[in-house]
Structure 1
Amino acid sequence: MTALLALPAVLDLRAAEPLKAQLLAVRGQETALDASAVERLGGLCLQVLLSALQTWRADGQALTFVNVSEAFASQWGAFGASASDLAAQGQLA
């Protein structure tokens, strides 16, 4: 069974700890992250998401991004994070 987590519109400093807690709660499960509402992605939340990608890979589980908003994809790339991480793990739109 795939866990589905909806990401908030603003992934800033205040969202980092709750995001980490949500991800830890579903660790060990195939997980889909719905990024359709994301309007702003901050650096700390980017680090949390990149860490989650590595953790899920190490655990042999799938972590996918679904319904990725244009803002999320654009800001992901603006930080220098690889678009292939989004594409390889899920859908870009």
Structure 2
Amino acid sequence: MDANDIADVFVLPASLDLAAAAPLKETLLTRRGQKICVDGTNVARAGVPCLQVLLAARQTWVDDQIEWVSRSFSVELVTALQELGIGLGRLGLDKESAK
């Protein structure tokens, strides 16, 4: 399924710092059980706590067998993932979708 086929597009905030981790978790929990498209275009800062939340959420969607599509991750978000040795595929992103 394509990202355009999913009604629930969740645009990540520009700052994924420590203060954003708990609200990010809560927002994702409210969407649990629904197909989701995660758009990381606007991310300018990405910290470890938010990356952990995203990874855990992605795994939850996989475990629940619910579709999760990632699209358009910013250079900053891709760099943060790569610096931690986290492959883009762990968040359901292919290299063409990374900006």
Query: Is the shorter-chain TM-score for this pair beyond 0.5, marking a shared fold?
Result: yes
Count of aligned positions = 92
Match of 2:86 among 76, 81, 85: 81
Query: Counterparts of 2:19 and 2:84 in 1: how far apart (Å)?
Result: 19
Q: Deviations over 1:22-73 (max 9, x none)?
A: 1001100110111000011100001000001110000101222212111111
Give SS of 1:33's match.
strand
Give SS of 1:49's match.
helix
The one-letter amino acid of 1:77's match is Q
Pairing 1:17-56 to 2, within 5 Å after superposition: 17-56=22-61
Give SS of 2:97's match.
coil
The one-letter amino acid of 1:44's match is P
Shift of 1:4: 1.2
The one-letter amino acid of 1:3's match is D
Shift of 1:83: 2.1
Aligned residue for 1:9?
A: 14
Q: Quote the sequence identity (%).
A: 37
Structure 1 unaligned runs (5+)?
A: none
Match of 1:63 among 41, 46, 68: 68
Equivalent pair of 1:64/1:91 in contact (CA under 8 Å): no
Return the TM-score normalized by structure 2.
0.84
Instruction: Give the aligned CA root-mean-square deviation in angstroms.
Output: 1.6
Give SS of 2:10's match.
strand
Equivalent pair of 1:2/1:29 in contact (CA under 8 Å): no
